[in-house]
Structure 1
Amino acid sequence: MKKTSLITCAFVLLTTACTTPTAPLNTKAPRYPYIGLEKTAPEPTDFNFATNRRNISLELPEEAQEELPLFDHAIEYCKAAQSFWEKGDMDGALSSLDEAYGLILKVDTGNDPLLLQQKEDLRFTISRRILEIYTSRTTTTSFTRNAIPITINQQVQREIDIFTKKDRRFFAESLKRSGQYRPMMVKKLQEAGLPVELSWLPLVESGFKVKALSSARALGLWQFVPSTGYMYGLKRTTFVDERLDPEKSTDAAIAYLDRLHKLFGDWSTVLAAYNCGEGRVLKIIRRQNLNYLDNFWDLYSRLPSETARYVPKFIATIHIVNNLEKYGFHTVTPNTPPTFDTVTVKKQVKLADVAKAIGAPYATLKRLNPELRYGILPKESYSLRVPVGKSKATLTAMSSLRVSLPPQRAFVYHKVRPGDTLSTLAKRYGTSVKAISRANGLSNRHVIVAGKKIKIPQRGYTTKGYYANTAIPNAKRPTRHVVRKGESLWLIARKYGTTPTALKETNRLSSNTLTVGQVIKLPSPASPKARRAKKSVYYVKRGDNPFTIATKHNISVARLLDLNNLTSGSTIYPGQRLYID
């Protein structure tokens, strides 16, 4: 029989089997085709084909097997696949197609364009058939996708040992915190048709700490970085960061996981992509020798070390929570989910003022609304969570509450100069190496590069060459200032006890950009007595320090020191009167 006739037979054989009956749901999954072959990705796998490959015997004479060209061998495997399929043997059918695909890839078409086209057509047809069989038996009658496979191998066992021994306390505390959020997560996952086991992913991501922050600036229960959070609808403004909202971040995580699943089809690979990014996983997949591959464990050795541990950690978590008594965690009592009412408000007020007005603990309101970055409600419409029964009181109180100023900036930017180090910058700005490192995601030993801009937590600075926190006394105050290299409106305003806005208005500036040598007019200040008359008074309590006081009143430390003619080295004492914005 000619090659073209054989290939035509194979096409007929494969395409006539495209309408597949509902397959048994307890069969195990094969490899899935390389994602570049089809736009529609396969459904999830729960089978490691690499360790379960079947030995297919076609019962051909040994001489014939040696003489048959690769095309003929591949077609015989296709016939065997159809036979297995008709008998309901899913693994046999998929294993045969797997062998056929590998043989087709080995065919040398030379310079024969017709043979090349036939090779590609057959390769595509086989991959399509694999997808059809695979998809038909990985969806239940209710269209709920299969649960995540639990494979206890050496890597997973190592993570089980760590969680139950070295990190036992972390696991127990995370398990306890999970009770606050998992009921909500499970409900949302069920509604989306995703495995409910994914509700345990935050244990690996954040330990179920709603304000967990990673060195990569990933934040919240589901650890979204700002860019990915934005892609999935999580807002980040001056007032709110929705990565901290348990419900909204869960919705975003479900949307992201669902998209990854449609792309990769294998839940373990999906989790790897969730951790290190889909782009990195796709690069690894594209480097494979074959155009399709097995699941996560075939990628394991090629993944970043953190991700290579990430999936085993998650599987270990699922195994442990399914066997709590075996590992001694059955005595841990999960926290109960919070109960609350939701009211829609539209006024920029302090959360602390709301708490006081409705007679609720401030800590309770903060816990119910963790996405509020500085404890100030935005002026736009906002859904505020309040204790049950406090809705009416909240709406009544809003009209009488004083409008709050927007939050003060928590840091300034510094352009690194030759000779700068984290230590010298920390001393210059009156902060710490740890604080600067944390703000920029650096290690304490990190070398900073001249010319780069880094964030400096705003806590005041007094070192020679930089301006003190205290404004220049009025008697000595000049009316103009010549801009020097490295100065900004913010630095000049701090030096003269005014604000960047006042400087811009006085000089009719349209932007914050200044040039060296530019002459800036300084606004006339009000007397200290007049300025202080507009401020609130706070009496220092035992245990207070400038940072805790400034944080409590949503102003910067520098502003607090400036209002009270203090420096970063000044001592405050219980009973001392301080002025607050």
Structure 2
Amino acid sequence: MAACSSAPKAAKTVPETAPKPVPAVTDERPAAEMPAAAEDPARPRQETARDAQAQAEKSEQSEKDASALLEEAFAAYEEAQAALAREDMDGALAKLDEAYGLLLKMSLPSDSPLLQEKNDLRILLAQRIQKISASRTTLASSVNGSIPLVENQWVMKEIRSFQTIERKAFEESYRRSGLYMDMILGELRKERLPEQLAWIPLIESAFKPRALSRARALGMWQFVRSTGYRYGLKQDKYVDERMDPVKATRAAIKYMIELHDLFGDWTTAIAAYNCGEGQVQRVIRAQKVDYFDSFWDLFANLPYETARHVPRFIATLLIVGDPGKYGFNLPAPDPALQFDTIRVNAAVKLATLSQNLGLDSTLLVGFNSELRHDSTPNYPYDLRVPAGYGEQCLACIASLPQYIPPDVVTDRHTVRRGDTLGAIARRYRTSVNAIVRLNGLKSRTMIYPGQVLRVPSRGGVEMPAPAPAAKPGETITHIVKNGDTLFQISKTYKTTVDKIKTANGLASDILFVGQKLVIQTGRS
């Protein structure tokens, strides 16, 4: 070929059969312009799939490991509970610490179904550890002194309130406490509970067995209907044991034991007694912490009335523990109620029985405040009578004519100036005839201001009472009836709730049937 024949001959003779060497070629283009090496398009997909599979296997194994740790933690917790039952505090604490350590080893993604169980168990462990730590310092005095008494700004604020605007109400409540204190302390001692808990009724109800709050909580321990049923308090058309001081005290103690077991300290348990355990649990969860040092860590996030409830309770304990320090000269408590119990097999009107025995008409009612009609029901009933009067009462009952208690639940209405039976019947959604029969009235027109009538309660919403025929600015006395609230009363008399509370030294919105309120009517 021409190209070959024109090339100069090399110094060495290269055989024609050998291939000619190819000179090296250097590409002078920048690296960025260099063509990429050809890749297998299937390779990235294979590597991604392998990585995903490896990650899935790792997550699955992590979940299995976490589940196993959680099971071990639960097992350790159960062993701690068994140790507590044996009163082996050291063993219980060791097992709780072991369970807590196992939880700390768990690593879970935010969407793991085990996360909620882990958090719930951590809170439970923290509460149990706190409870044991507290009991180690107060075990010898578990009956007394186990509620810490602090004098912080909130407690001192309540003390100042008791010293001033609420002073009269506080002293009256203290005096009334004597009627029931021995009984309450006896029930607390049976369960080895702190004796300070006996003062809860002072802030709940002022020790009034028939106290009724605007939330429809009833009795000395302020049970709402559902909680009363939950702890075995009978509620029928004749009896409401929420108003029974003895039975309600036992029910309240059961409730407080459960709350203390749940939260691990008494101040938090008392807060939960006021607003319900669910509310306190929601606040604890919202804190997003596994352990809280004391009730005061929750204080700012609780409902106002509940947050105030615990400082009021502690203020009460401080005052009754050292009245002189806080400027009080407390009255002597009323003597404890002394009574016998007799089995009554027939319906008996307490007023009739009192009259025949020559007793004060309020005495039997005070002993048996749970009787809704102030009469025994039409089934066998254990009636409380003054000590030493048992046989005399039984003989008297045997001689009395049969009393037929009303078949319907009744409210009490205090007749006001301008009231008519027709207006009262419309207000309570009943009939004039029903009111006449229930009260044994001989005339449909002869009712008078101040007269107390029983009216059938149909469970409907009670309409506001008609305004009394009082001059604007006149001071009158209002007798609280079943269903009354401060808001309703304030509207009736054209005044405000705060003015009524100030005029009567009321610490809360709680009212009780028969309570007398001094009210200055507003101006139209």
**Fold match by TM threshold 0.5:** yes
Match of 1:318 in 2: 317
Q: Which residue of 2 aligns with 1:461?
A: 422
In the TM superposition, residue 292 of structure 1 has moved relative to its aligned partner by: 2.7
Q: Deviations over 1:531-561 (max 9, x none)?
A: 9xxx7879x99xx82762645xxx779xxxx
Change (3 A) 1:282 1:132: closer
Distance in 2 between the 1:354 and 1:376 partners? 10
Determine helix, strand or coil for the equivalent of 1:383: strand
Query: Structure 1 residues 275 and 40 mapped into 2: Cα distance closer, same or farther (>3 Å)?
Result: farther
SS of residue paired to 2:342? strand
Query: Residues 145 and 196 of structure 2 are in contact (CA less than 8 Å); yes or no, is this contact kept in structure 1?
Result: no
Which segments of 5 or more consecutive residues in structure 2 lack a partner in the other structure? 1-61, 458-468, 470-524
- Is the CA contact 1:185–1:250 (under 8 Å) kept in the aligned structure 2? yes
- Could you say which residue in structure 2 is the equivalent of 1:510? none
Distance apart, 1:357 and its partner CA = 2.3
Residue type of the alignment partner of 1:260 = L
In structure 2, the partner of 1:350 is 349
Counterpart of 2:254 in structure 1 is 255
Identity rate, percent: 41
Query: CA, structure 1 residues 197+129, in 2 after alignment: closer, same or farther (shift >3 Å)?
Result: closer
Contact 2:345 2:381 (8 Å CA) reproduced? yes
- The alpha-carbon distance between structure 1 residues 199 and 161, as it changes in their structure 2 partners (threshold 3 A), is same
The residue aligned with 2:371 is 372
Residue pair 1:276, 1:307 contacting (<8 A) in 2 also: yes
Distance 1:249 1:110, change over 3 A: closer
**Residues 158-237 of structure 1 aligned to structure 2 (within 5 Å):** 158-237=157-236
Distance in 2 between the 1:282 and 1:126 partners?
Answer: 15
2:451 aligns with one of 531, 537, 548: 548
Alpha-carbon RMSD: 5.0
Shift of 1:130: 3.8
Alpha-carbon spacing, 1:326–1:399, altered in 2? closer, same or farther (3 Å): same
User: Deviation per CA, 1:441-480, whole angstroms, max 9, x where unpaired?
Assistant: xxxxxxxxxxxxxxxxx973259xx9899xxxxxxxxxxx
Q: Which secondary structure does the structure 2 equivalent of 1:342 belong to?
A: strand
CA contact (8 A) 1:341 1:388 kept: yes
Q: How many residues align?
A: 370
> Structure 1 regions of 5+ residues with no counterpart?
19-32, 44-84, 413-425, 433-457, 470-487, 501-530, 558-568, 570-581
Looking at structure 2, the residues matched to 391 and 182 of structure 1 have their Cα atoms a distance apart, in angstroms, of: 24
Query: Is the radius of gyration larger for structure 1 or structure 2?
Result: 2
Contact 1:41–1:265 (Cα < 8 Å) also in 2: no
- In the aligned structure 2, how far is the partner of 1:468 from the partner of 1:267? 44
Deviation per CA, 1:32-79, whole angstroms, max 9, x where unpaired? x9xxxx989999xxxxxxxxxxxxxxxxxxxxxxxxxxxxxxxxxxxx
Change (3 A) 1:154 1:357: same
CA distance 1:303–1:42, shift in 2 (3 Å): farther
Q: Distance in 1 between matches of 2:323 and 2:204?
A: 20
1:403 corresponds in structure 2 to: 402
Task: Give the letter for the 2:421 counterpart.
Answer: G
Cα pair 1:42 1:264 within 8 Å, conserved: no
Task: Tell me the residue number matched to 1:243.
Answer: 242
User: Is the CA contact (8 Å cut-off) linking 1:42 and 1:131 kept in structure 2?
Assistant: no
Structure 2 vs 1, CA of residues 134 and 215 (structure 1 numbering), >3 Å: closer, same or farther?
same
Shift of 1:127: 5.4
Query: 2: distance between equivalents of 1:225 and 1:283?
Result: 20
Residue identity opposite 1:152 in structure 2: E
Query: TM-score w.r.t. structure 2 length?
Result: 0.59
* CA pair 40-261 structure 1, distance change in 2 beyond 3 A: farther
Structure 2 letter corresponding to 1:306? E
Q: Could you state the TM-score of these two structures normalised by the residue count of structure 1? A: 0.54
Note if contact 1:174-1:208 (Cα within 8 Å) is conserved in structure 2: yes
The CA deviation string for residues 184-238 of structure 1, in whole angstroms up to 9 with x for no partner, is: 1111101111100000111110111222111011111111111111111111222
Structure 1 residue 157: deviation in Å? 0.9
Question: Partner residue of 2:267?
Answer: 268
Q: Distance between the aligned counterparts of 2:123 and 2:304, measured in 1?
A: 34
Give the drift of 1:327: 2.4
1:166 Cα deviation from its structure 2 partner: 2.0
Partner of 1:388: 387
CA distance in 2, matches of 1:225, 1:232: 11
- Which position in structure 2 is the counterpart of 1:443? none
Q: Give the secondary structure class of the aligned counterpart of 1:293.
A: coil
Say which structure is richer in helix.
Answer: 2
C-alpha distance in structure 2 between counterparts of 1:398 and 1:102, whole Å: 69
- How far, CA to CA, are the matches of 2:124 and 2:313 in structure 1? 36
